[in-house]
C-alpha cells in the first residue's frame, strides 16, 4: 500500500496558473465584459481594476456520460400506477440542475463574478488596440524615478565623498579624543605655576610634570587627522517624482454624423493618451470641448453622452481651446497636449480658418497635438487643410481611423521619441 503526501510549498500565488488558463479559455467573454466596463468608465480611472461577470451559460462545457447498453429492467418499489409494458413519461423540468429560480418552472444559475487586477485589466484593454508588447509594458507598469539627495551615509564610492562633512566629523573626533589630554595638560601647567613660586625650574618636581606634558602632547599629535570612520558619502535615492503638471485638451465633433461607435473609438483614443501622459506627469488636468456649430467646455459625462447635435463648425472648438490656453495655462508652468477627434466633415469655408488658428495660435504653445479622422471613406476637406499644419509643425500628428485596431499608429512617432 502506497500513501502520497504533498509537501510542496503552499504559495499565495498557487492559483496563478489556473487563473491564466481561465483567461485563455474565456478570453472572448472577458474581453466583451471589459469593453462594456470601459463604456461606463471615466478617463481618469481607466488604470484601476474591475469586477466583471460572465453569464453562466457561457461557462458551460460539454460532458460525456456512460449509456447503459442492451435491454434492462428496473423495479420501482411501491408502484401502483404502471404495469409491465406501460410507457413511463419523461420527467418534467428537464433533469437535474444546480440552481433554481423563484418561478414554478425552468432553471437558472447566477453569473460568475470575479475581480480583474489593474495589470490584467490594462492588458485586455491594450489587446484591442494592437499595441506592441513593449509599449503595453511601458504604459501599464513603468514608473519614472528621479534621483534626489537623502542625507549622508558611511559607505559609498570615492566619487561621492563629501569633503566638508568628512572633515567636520574628523575634527569632532579629534576634539573628543584629545579633550581629556588637554584637560590634564592644563592642570599640570597650573601646578607648575604654583611650584615655581617656591622651587627652581630644574627641580625634579617641575621636570617630572614637564615630561608628563610632553607625553600627553605626543598622544594628541598621534591622533589621526582623518580616519575611515570619519568618511561620509553623499546618499542619493530614487523616488517616483513625475516631471511637472500637464493639461490635456479633448476636442470632439458631436455633429449628426458622429454616431455612438465613433464616440467610443474617440474615448479609447483619449484614454490611451491619458495613460501616456500619466506615466510622465504627476498632475494632469483634463479639458473637454465638444462642438457642432458652436463649442462649449463640458464635463466628461456630457462630453461623451450628451444628445445635443447639429451642423459642423470646427473653428469654434479651436477658438475656445485657444482662449482657455491663454486664460489658464499661459504662465509657462504647464505642458499642454491636445487631441481632436472628428469624422472630418466640416463646413467648406470653415476649414481654412481651422488651419490658421491651429498653426498660428495653438501649435506654438503645445507639446503635442493629434488629430484623428474617424471615417472609412475618402479624406474630408478638414484633413486636406491639416496636411499643411503637419508639414510645418513637427509636434502635430494626424491619422485616419477605421476601427479600434487603427488607434496605435497615431502614437507611433511620439512613442519612438519617448523611448529613444
% of residues, the chain, pLDDT over 70? 65
User: What is the C-alpha separation between 140 and 228, in angstroms, rounded?
Assistant: 45
Whether residue 167 is contained in a domain is answered as: yes
pLDDT-derived band of residue 10, with 50, 70 and 90 as boundaries? very low
Phi-psi region of 310 (alpha: psi -120 to 50; beta: other; left: phi over 0): left
Count of domains forming the chain: 3
- b/e string for 143-165 if b means 16 or more Cβ within 10 A? eeeeeeeeebeeebeeeeebeeb
Q: Over 60: is that where the pLDDT of 115 sits?
A: yes
Q: How many helices (H) and strands (E) does the chain have?
A: 13, 10
Mean pLDDT of 387-414: 77
Give yes or no for a contact between 270 and 289, defined as CB atoms under 8 angstroms apart. Answer: no
pTM score of the predicted model? 0.50
Amino acid 289: pLDDT: 93
Task: Please give the backbone phi and psi of residue 297, each rounded to the nearest 5 degrees, phi first.
Answer: -85, 130
pLDDT tens for 277-309 read: 776 666 788 899 998 888 999 988 888 777 777
CATH code of residue 314? 3.40.50.410
**190 plus 299 within the same structural domain:** no
Mean pLDDT across 245-272: 82
In a domain, 1, yes or no: no
Per-residue confidence band for 321, with pLDDT thresholds at 50, 70 and 90: very high
Same structural domain for residues 47 and 116?
yes
Q: Does 419 score more than 50 pLDDT? A: no
Of residues 58 and 387, which shows the higher confidence score? 387
Residue 268 belongs to a domain: yes
Please say if the pLDDT value at position 129 is more than 70. no
Domain, as residue range, for 48? 14-56+111-128
Do 367 and 252 lie in one domain? The reply is: yes
Residues 210 and 319: their CA atoms lie apart, in Å, by 93
Domain identity same for 260 and 231: no
The answer to whether residues 199 and 316 belong to one domain is no
Q: Are residues 328 and 397 in the same domain?
A: yes
pLDDT at 229 over 70: yes
Residues in Cβ contact with 68 at an 8 Å cutoff, skipping those fewer than 6 apart: none
Tell me which residue of 161, 118, 115, 171 sits closest to 141, measured CA to CA.
118
In angstroms, the CA 264 to CA 272 distance is 12
Q: What confidence category does residue 134 fall into, taking pLDDT thresholds of 50, 70 and 90? A: very low
- Asked if pLDDT for residue 333 goes beyond 70, the answer is yes
- Please report the pLDDT score of residue 131 as a whole number: 46
- Average pLDDT value for residue range 176-203: 87
Same domain, 351 and 385: yes
Q: Within 337-395, where are the H helices?
A: 351-357, 381-392
* Domain termination residue (choose one: 208, 235, 262): 235
Lowest mean per-residue pLDDT among 1-10, 167-176, 254-263, 389-398: 1-10
Q: Are residues 275 and 353 in the same domain?
A: yes
Name the residue among 285, 275, 280 with its Cα closest to residue 243: 280
Domain boundary among 180, 207, 235: 235
Name which of 106-110, 210-214, 376-380 the model is least confident about: 106-110
Q: pLDDT per residue over 67-85, tens digit each?
A: 666 676 766 566 667 777 7
Distance, CA of 294 to CA of 260 (rounded, Å): 20
Q: Which residue has the higher pLDDT, 328 or 415?
A: 328
Residue carrying the nine cell digits 599640570: 188
What's the mean pLDDT in 173-196?
88
Q: Which of 210, 235, 260 is the last residue of a domain?
A: 235
Give the distance from CA 131 to its chain's centroid.
16
| 404 in a structural domain | yes
Would residue 201 count as lying in a domain?
yes
Residue 145 lies in a domain: no
Are 382 and 330 found together in one domain?
yes
Whether residue 315 is contained in a domain is answered as yes
Q: Is the predicted pLDDT of residue 87 greater than 60, yes or no? A: yes
Does a structural domain hold residue 84?
no
pLDDT in tens, 348-370: 788 889 999 999 999 998 888 88
Tell me the pLDDT of the chain averaged across its residues. Answer: 75
One domain for residues 213 and 273: no
| 321 and 411 co-located in one domain | yes
252 and 189 part of one domain: no
Amino acid at each position: 500500500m502506497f500513501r502520497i503526501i504533498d509537501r510542496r510549498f503552499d504559495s499565495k500565488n498557487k492559483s496563478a496558473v489556473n487563473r491564466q488558463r481561465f483567461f485563455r479559455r474565456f478570453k472572448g467573454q472577458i474581453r466583451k465584459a471589459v469593453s462594456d466596463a470601459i463604456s461606463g468608465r471615466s478617463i481618469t480611472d481607466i488604470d484601476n481594476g474591475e469586477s466583471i461577470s460572465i453569464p453562466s451559460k457561457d461557462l458551460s462545457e460539454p460532458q460525456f456520460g456512460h449509456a447503459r447498453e442492451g435491454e434492462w429492467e428496473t423495479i420501482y418499489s411501491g408502484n401502483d400506477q404502471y404495469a409491465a409494458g406501460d410507457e413511463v413519461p419523461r420527467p418534467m423540468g428537464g433533469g437535474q440542475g444546480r440552481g433554481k429560480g423563484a418561478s414554478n418552472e425552468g432553471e437558472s444559475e447566477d453569473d460568475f463574478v470575479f475581480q480583474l487586477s489593474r495589470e490584467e485589466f490594462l492588458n485586455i484593454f491594450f489587446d484591442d488596440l494592437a499595441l506592441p508588447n513593449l509599449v503595453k509594458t511601458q504604459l501599464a507598469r513603468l514608473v519614472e524615478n528621479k534621483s534626489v539627495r537623502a542625507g549622508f551615509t558611511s559607505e559609498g564610492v570615492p566619487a561621492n565623498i563629501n569633503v566638508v562633512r568628512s572633515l567636520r566629523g574628523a575634527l569632532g573626533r579629534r576634539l573628543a579624543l584629545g579633550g581629556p589630554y588637554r584637560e590634564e595638560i592644563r592642570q599640570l601647567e597650573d601646578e607648575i605655576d604654583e611650584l615655581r613660586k617656591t622651587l627652581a625650574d630644574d627641580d625634579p618636581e617641575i621636570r617630572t610634570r614637564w615630561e608628563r606634558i610632553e607625553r600627553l602632547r605626543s598622544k594628541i599629535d598621534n591622533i589621526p587627522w582623518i580616519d575611515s570612520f570619519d568618511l561620509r558619502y553623499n546618499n542619493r535615492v530614487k523616488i517616483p517624482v513625475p516631471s511637472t503638471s500637464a493639461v490635456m485638451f479633448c476636442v470632439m465633433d458631436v455633429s449628426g454624423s458622429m454616431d455612438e461607435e465613433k464616440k467610443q473609438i474617440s474615448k479609447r483614443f483619449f484614454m490611451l493618451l491619458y495613460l501616456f501622459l500619466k506615466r510622465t506627469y504627476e498632475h494632469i488636468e483634463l479639458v473637454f470641448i465638444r462642438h457642432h456649430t458652436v463649442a462649449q467646455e463640458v464635463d466628461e459625462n456630457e462630453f461623451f453622452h450628451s444628445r445635443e447635435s447639429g451642423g459642423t463648425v470646427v473653428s469654434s472648438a479651436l477658438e475656445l481651446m485657444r482662449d482657455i490656453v491663454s486664460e489658464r495655462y499661459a504662465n509657462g508652468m504647464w505642458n499642454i497636449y491636445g487631441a481632436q477627434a472628428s469624422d472630418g466633415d466640416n463646413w467648406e469655408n470653415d476649414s481654412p480658418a481651422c488651419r490658421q488658428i491651429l498653426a498660428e495660435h495653438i501649435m506654438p504653445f503645445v507639446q503635442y497635438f493629434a488629430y484623428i479622422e474617424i471615417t472609412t471613406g475618402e479624406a474630408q476637406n478638414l484633413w486636406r487643410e491639416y496636411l499643411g499644419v503637419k508639414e510645418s509643425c513637427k509636434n502635430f500628428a494626424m491619422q485616419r481611423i477605421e476601427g479600434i485596431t487603427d488607434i496605435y499608429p497615431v502614437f507611433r512617432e511620439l512613442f519612438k521619441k519617448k523611448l529613444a
